[in-house]
Amino acid sequence: MKSSILRSVIAALVGILLAFALLWLSQYAGSEVAPAEYDVDTGEILIPLGSTIALIVGWFVGTFGGAWLAMRVSGGNGPGWVVAGAVIGAALYSAADFSDSWWIMALGVLVPLVAAWAAQRAAGTAA
């Protein structure tokens, strides 16, 4: 019993690390393709569409990769959904911090949930 819980905790932690590493890579690639620009007149930072798309893709890829790994290592679904929860929490915190639009916040919840569901199906742990 103890080893099963410990295995699930470690799987969730490793999955979260992988998810955020993949998310960071996606955001880095997006900022290289479409860098943010500073508007001197208004003092705002303008985020181009390419960076926003890279962020949304990063939410999916990061959640899918981290959740899939966590589910495969643990042999259950729970750790993968913990990974999805961590990505959702970070997405909502980031969106609220930068005062993003409501649709970014909605996608910050929806995209990781869909990715975790797809990871569950791909990991073969669907109940």
> Does the pLDDT value for residue 1 go beyond 70?
no
**Does pTM top 0.75 for this prediction?**
yes
Most confident of 52-56, 81-85, 96-100: 81-85
On average, the pLDDT of the chain sits at: 88
Question: Which residue, among 9, 119, 111, has the nearest Cα to 71 in the 3D structure?
Answer: 119
**Per DSSP, what are the bridge partners of residue 46?**
37
* Percent of the chain clearing pLDDT 70 (strictly above): 94
pLDDT at 22: 96
For residue 25, what are its two tokens? 């890579």
CB 65 within 8 A of CB 25: no
Average pLDDT score over residue span 114-119? 96
Burial of 124 by CB count in 10 Å (0-12 exposed, 13-18 middle, 19+ buried)? exposed
- Map out the domains of the chain as residue ranges: 2-123
Residue pLDDT, tens place only, 13-33: 999 999 999 999 998 988 888
pLDDT greater at residue 124 or residue 12: 12
